Amino acid sequence: MKIFTKKLLTGRTFLTDKTVTVENGRITAIAGGGPADFAVDVLTPGLVDLHCHGGQGFDPEQVVHPLPDFLAAMLRCGVTEVLLTLGAESLPVMRRALGVVKDAMQKQAVGQLPGTRIIGVHLEGPFLSPVRPGAMPPAALRIPSSAAYRELTQGYEDIIRQITLAPELPQAITLGQSQAAHGVRVQAGHTDADFSTAQRAFDAGFTGLCHTFNACRPLHHRDPGVVAAALLDDRVTTECICDLVHLHPGTLQLIYKIKGADRMIAVSDSVATHGLCDGRYTFNGQGYIVQNGVSRCADGTLDGGGVYLDGAVRNLQSVGIPAAEACRMASTLPAACLGLRRELTPGCLADCVAWSDDWLVQYVWQGGQLAVSNI
């Protein structure tokens, strides 16, 4: 298969008028123009979402609507890979959700479940600060320890790829250090950590900040806290919810100005209510209100993000971030956080998204196979 594109994202820049050759699921060559099976305006790597609870009524912790519908909707938006994220719930609910994800991954491995590829689990809960719970139910939060982690994850250790911890909690830094040593990506989040505690966490192997500025100790000129520590540390990658509601456009510009295009990633943080019509919903006994596409808890607390990653790419550009860097923040960079190489270069997996000139997803390929045509 050959794809001709007017603009091809490679590394940090776009190349013009290139033809990408795909064989056996991988990119084998990139050359000048010529005959091709497809002709598109823009071609980028597939989008990779490291923080996504669900959407279209689906959440692994509160299975009401079918998983296939959610995975199909995500793929139509150009998201080829996702870490399904679990928030804080009771131990039985979280373990049941881990079983849902593992079963789905096993089905995908044998070709029985199409849509966005699930690459593991992000445990956003339950080891979070009761001072900064965000939309998490405070009663479900737990004190971190090796024993508590084993109780939660036993039998599912192989699918845990990322964990969020509040580093100021007892044993949190020790647990994070241990998980980092086992290859799990560890980030601070839902945290009231002060500046020095955050620095200790980053020295111990925490490499990210969960949805920067949200559910964190706020930045103050005499109490800079975890946000300033993350922004100043070149080892730390900052997650950003790019729906222009969770973060003001000026805040996105600030993060970009400090972190640059190599330490800032876009996440959806989408939840079950994302993609549903405005109205009132109940999931797992909790009430939610969707108004103008924004989801909130019944008490008015902001819930998950309001756009999938294709919307994040458009929103990042709308605040002045160059298109090539906006695309990298939603594809190559989050993949690299998990040690995955997702680039449009020979030898790489042919997960590709074709966009129109106005940044709407037109085609999606997974492993070289056409999976979505929105034309």
Which pLDDT tens digit goes with each residue over 16-67? 999 999 999 999 999 997 789 999 999 999 999 999 999 998 988 876 678 9
Which pLDDT tens digit goes with each residue over 62-81? 766 789 999 999 999 999 99
Please report the pLDDT score of residue 53 as a whole number: 94
- Contacts of residue 94, Cβ cutoff 8 Å, sequence gap at least 6: 61, 86, 88, 125, 126, 152
Specify the 3-state DSSP secondary structure of 138.
helix
d(CA 241, CA 252) in angstroms, rounded, equals: 9
| Token pair recorded at residue 291 | 């108004």
The lowest-confidence range among 17-31, 116-130, 149-163, 271-285 is 271-285
d(CA 147, CA 249) in angstroms, rounded, equals: 42
Closest CA to 5 of 33, 36, 40: 40
* pTM for this prediction: 0.96
d(CA 366, CA 166) in angstroms, rounded, equals: 36
In this structure, the strands spanning 279-283 and 264-267 are unpaired
Residue 121 pLDDT > 80, yes or no? yes
- What is the band of 139 on the pLDDT scale with cuts at 50, 70, 90? very high
Specify the 3-state DSSP secondary structure of 330.
coil
- Is the bond preceding residue 144 a cis peptide, omega within 30 degrees? no
Token pair 């793929």: residue? 75
- Cβ pair 371, 329 in contact under 8 A: no
Please report the pLDDT score of residue 300 as a whole number: 81
Please report the pLDDT score of residue 289 as a whole number: 85
Please report the pLDDT score of residue 64 as a whole number: 63
Q: Give me the domains of the chain, ranges plus CATH numbers.
A: 1-46+342-375 (2.30.40.10), 47-341 (3.20.20.140)
